Structure 1
């Protein structure tokens, strides 16, 4: 890996966050585009939609299928993407706890379809993007990682 690639990867692994209108965003996503609460319904929806990355879309790999499902979950590259996704989720949770000790967040890793990492703040009166108790597919420990972040405290569930 060239040092310029390593530097870019480091910014994904240990990202810079920005605050806009009391919402927290990954600096490297298109967070400053116009967002409308009528489209997203709530602040949790805005943050969880804009603050996510599809691991297989971000890196070169050979786990692609031509038809649905578009990823070969048995391919070694898919399995590597799952490990990268879990590592991203853990590092984002830690960085959020350091950068915003007075805010609460929920960070997710989801495996199925394409490993995805996303986060949002816990907004009073709004449901989380995903909750294990209310989702049948979120009970698979290998498929979903949910990290609750409260200041310098983390709870993995």
Structure 2
């Protein structure tokens, strides 16, 4: 089976709505644990917090796992979801190429629009608790690669 068909299916029905919140996930190329390397994880974390990554979108919450990334992003008025994710991947990959990691991100990403009736802070807690659920730490505050605007 062609793995690209899965990415096409993810794009089917994808809608970019200005002001909409999206729970996003993207994985490292070949699902390699690139971000176990402290220098790589720190470089990506610093880069991700720069405005050049997001255009007119807002990054509200994120966690960088050893082989993937989760984020809560609010779209702005100008850029589509695809534009925002392409920019994020491009800017972070260019920054990491100086660390000689090779290909950084896999193709595609997963998105889920956060419904208006959902508790946005609960979604953010879900995101930052990923390292805890994965058994990487025993307390969320012990994991260094995450941030949330509600702190």
- Compare relative contact order (CA 8 Å, sep 6+) and give the higher one, 1 or 2: 2
Same fold flag (TM > 0.5): no
TM-score for the superposition, normalised by structure 2: 0.36
Q: Higher Cα Rg: structure 1 or 2?
A: 1
TM-score for the superposition, normalised by structure 1: 0.35
Indicate the structure with greater helix content. 2
